[in-house]
Structure 1
Amino acid sequence: MSEPIRDRLVPLRRSFHRHPEPAWREFRTTACVVEELESLDVDELAVGADAYDPADRMAVPDDEELKPWLEGAREAGVREDLLERMTGGTTGAVAVLDRGDGPTIGLRVDIDGLFIEESTDADHEPATEGFRSAVDGTMHACGHDAHMTWGLATLEAIVESDFAGRLVVFFQPAEETGGGGCPMAKSEFAADLDYLLAIHVGLDHPTGEVVAGIEKPLAMCHVDATIEGTSAHAGKAPNEGDNALHAMATAIENAYGIPRHSDGMTRVNVGRAEAGTASNVIAERAHIVAEARGETTALMEYVKERLERTIKSAATLHGCRADVDIVSESPRADSDPELQALVSEVAADVAGVEHVLPSADFGASEDATFLMERVQEEGGLASYLIVGTDHPTSHHTPTFDVDERSLAHGVDVLVETIRELERRHPVSRRDENGA
């Protein structure tokens, strides 16, 4: 790793792409990030439970689900001292550069992959160029491989500069399940940040376009429900059973009937439902995986409460009982206009950036909002940037890929934004009249 990160953006991103790991299973990924960080002159490097309180995590798999990923990382040669620091799936890391007086700036990038089988199509570049996922059923289908590359290269550039201040880089696990943002936000590393930058690649913005800050990310919660009934013979004595499958079907039907709200947009979806064993058996158990979203945190809470009530009521109606677990959730947090304006100015002067949008509606959910919310509540400014990339198909699809020209664009935008924040600090909030 003697060659500068900036000179190997493409191979580094491709290496991450080839070895994706899902939420809280990012053992090898974290180790690769840490080894890169160890080659930089950072002042503090916290891994796993040293970076956050494990009790604050959400949507954590059980030990049996974690075990094969841990063993896979060990077989790949990950150091035992690092695996010990990630016991129980405490993945992720935080790196701190402390250069004395100046602003305290946070940068958040995410590191997890998705449970998607990557395409082998002849026109899918990762397949033809030899960096398609080597992990069956798992893929970097949302660009987090690019995000990690940006985080490392940006930190390297600031280390090598005459930056004055404190830079904290969060390499956050479990974004896709909404499980990692909360513990990072509650950690000591998120305290007293003057500014926070979060970043995403693509999102239907082309190469050469930058969005200086998102607005209207949806507050979100993931719901896991189990319905318990009573088994019986479907032909001989169906009346002796309490049909969990029927209760599940009622719950799903009624979930989509939850009233919309006059205060704004809401969403509800049941993404997976399972029940039963055979055609002649009254199902005694059913499982539902669902989500609720809202234009505001309050609206998400409205849908979440009614979704939970709907599932439990459907179970009761059919003589069953339901256990509803809120697996994870994240709030809404908008980018601050003062920081968006600064990013817009900086991005306009970056080579290869042809178009800058001051803001754009996000329309999806992101648990970076936990970090944004904390920074804003403590008086700081936060913005969630998008660096465009030409991707052949949408995020979360088997043929997703990024235009690797955008790798340099992202690094330049982040580095120059950090240096400009240093020069302009403090960046004041506008008053109520926008002055």
Structure 2
Amino acid sequence: MSKPVRNRLVSIRRRLHRHPEPAWREFTTTARLVDEIRAIGVDELAVGPDAYDPADRMAVPDADLEPWLERARERGVDEDLLEQLAGGTTGAVAVVERGEGPAIGLRVDIDGLFIEESTDGEHVPAAEDFRSEIDGTMHACGHDAHMTWGLAALEAIAESDFSGRLVVFFQPAEETGGGGSPMAKSEYAAGLDYLLAVHVGLDHPTGEVVAGIEKPLAMCHVDATIEGTSAHAGKAPNEGANAMHAMGTAIESAYGIPRHADGMTRVNIGKAEAGTASNVIAERAHMEAEARGETTELMAYMKRRLERTIRSAAELHGCRADVDVVSESPRADSDPELQQIVSEVAGSVDDVERVLPAADFGASEDATFLMERVQDDGGLASYLIVGTDHPTSHHTPTFDVDERSLAHGVDVLVETIRELERRHPVPREDDE
């Protein structure tokens, strides 16, 4: 019988850190989570396509799944489980059902990033031998800590005298904005009274907790392919339609989209590729972009303008553009009633030195799909931050977490769940 998760927080986090897998490729990660959840013992466990409708997924890669599936097979993942996850239907939902009481959701994300982890001797995962074992891939955003919190909170509630329903969403594909929507549309998100989502760090130090974020930016990922006509660049350039030139015009014009008077807007072209040789007019160009807005409506404004800009630039140069919105997520703010409870709980947790009732998020998160679903159904949601001392920013090769924050996160989450059980139903401010 394995030791309790609570006694293995560091070892579980490090094991997950060693094997990061990017969006919709989290085969070994899902298998490890399933093993731990089964050892805990829950009332219901839904894996992959049983946890959500695969047709609702966004930003699913067209290729590149098979090598990750084969790597999981080589690492001894159960073949029946791999068959269930084939096609990239990763992730899981675990349910503890304990009679009458509130229905509470907890969402944690599970995917890694395409970043090569540092080998520098000052980087703790390298120095203490738990650096990523997969070249070019890394847990550079703390999702290894998030999964550890999800498992530990699940175990603590399962072993307690909790009365109610706890649903823990181990969500894939957060980094691409692809996994939140299908889980929010699933049966497991129905009827939740409360939802907690959580992130580590985000420039908040160890010992600090933010009870709920505000102003997350609504976001969309946009891929565009521009098709032109190739020609000899020296002999007959006039016979070509230059896809690279069209893409350059699109990029320059995208950064010139007027910002909106109603609030913050963002646009970025993060990747651009075109051409085959110096003496060939490029017939094809590909770019990957994103648009964000302070509200869902402002994001939609930027998305429409970005799509129009790309198509117009292609037409100007005699080319054609195929524009695809591969994923998007709305804005959803934390509810003040739930923020107040998290604040009170966090203030009583050992080694938590400072509690902020709220903080602007300034980035984007597809947990907002789940938050919005719960709020639309009459429930309350909060996205909290558990601080950690990280030596460099998120999404960098030397990102790491202070492992003291693992216990802080577990305590805040578990005690908040128990407090919601005691106070249910939590009065709304407008009701008062």
Is the TM-score greater than 0.5? Answer: yes
Question: For 1:406 and 1:82, how far apart are their aligned partners in 2?
Answer: 32
How large is the Cα RMSD of the aligned pairs? 0.7
Question: For 2:80 and 2:234, how far apart are their aligned partners in 1?
Answer: 59
The question of 1:351 aligning with 2:350 is answered yes
Deviations 1:221-242 (A, max 9, x none): 0000000000000111011000
Deviations 1:32-52 (A, max 9, x none): 000000012211000000000
Question: For 2:243 and 2:274, how far apart are their aligned partners in 1?
Answer: 7
Q: What is aligned with 2:15? A: 15
1:39 is paired with a residue of what secondary structure? helix
Q: What is aligned with 1:29? A: 29
Deviations 1:285-335 (A, max 9, x none): 000100000000000000000000000000000000000000100000000
Q: What is aligned with 1:65? A: 64
Q: What is aligned with 1:41? A: 41
Where does structure 2 lack aligned partners over 5 or more consecutive residues?
none
Q: What is aligned with 1:407? A: 406
Question: For 2:375 and 2:154, how far apart are their aligned partners in 1?
Answer: 23
Question: For 1:82 and 1:15, how far apart are their aligned partners in 2?
Answer: 20
Matches within 5 A, 1:93-104: 93-104=92-103
2:253 is paired with a residue of what secondary structure? helix
Question: For 1:191 and 1:272, how far apart are their aligned partners in 2?
Answer: 38
Partner amino acid for 1:57? R
Deviations 1:120-141 (A, max 9, x none): 0010000010000000000000
1:141 is paired with a residue of what secondary structure? coil
Partner amino acid for 1:125? V
Matches within 5 A, 1:104-143: 104-143=103-142
The question of 1:334 aligning with 2:327 is answered no
2:333 is paired with a residue of what secondary structure? coil
How does the TM-score come out when normalised to structure 2?
0.99
The question of 1:90 aligning with 2:89 is answered yes
The question of 1:155 aligning with 2:160 is answered no
Question: For 1:119 and 1:278, how far apart are their aligned partners in 2?
Answer: 33
Cα deviation, residue 2, structure 1 = 1.6
Partner amino acid for 1:17? H
Question: For 1:393 and 1:338, how far apart are their aligned partners in 2?
Answer: 33
Cα deviation, residue 85, structure 1 = 1.2
Question: For 2:395 and 2:41, how far apart are their aligned partners in 1?
Answer: 35
Q: What is aligned with 1:319? A: 318
How does the TM-score come out when normalised to structure 1?
0.99
Cα deviation, residue 429, structure 1 = 1.3
Q: What is aligned with 1:185? A: 184
1:134 is paired with a residue of what secondary structure? coil
The question of 1:3 aligning with 2:13 is answered no
Q: What is aligned with 1:391? A: 390
For these two proteins, the number of residue pairs brought into alignment is: 432
Partner amino acid for 1:222? H
Partner amino acid for 1:378? D
Question: For 1:61 and 1:224, how far apart are their aligned partners in 2?
Answer: 12
Matches within 5 A, 1:295-310: 295-310=294-309
Question: For 1:47 and 1:384, how far apart are their aligned partners in 2?
Answer: 24
Question: For 2:317 and 2:186, how far apart are their aligned partners in 1?
Answer: 44
Q: What is aligned with 2:371? A: 372
- After superposing on structure 2, the runs of 4+ consecutive aligned residues of structure 1 that deviate more than 2 Å are none
Question: For 2:363 and 2:122, how far apart are their aligned partners in 1?
Answer: 28
Cα deviation, residue 31, structure 1 = 0.2
Cα deviation, residue 87, structure 1 = 1.7
Cα deviation, residue 61, structure 1 = 1.0
2:221 is paired with a residue of what secondary structure? strand
Question: For 2:333 and 2:127, how far apart are their aligned partners in 1?
Answer: 39
Question: For 2:86 and 2:192, how far apart are their aligned partners in 1?
Answer: 28
Cα deviation, residue 209, structure 1 = 0.1
Deviations 1:239-279 (A, max 9, x none): 10000000000000000000010100100000010111111
Q: What is aligned with 2:270? A: 271
Question: For 2:427 and 2:210, how far apart are their aligned partners in 1?
Answer: 21
Q: What is aligned with 2:380? A: 381
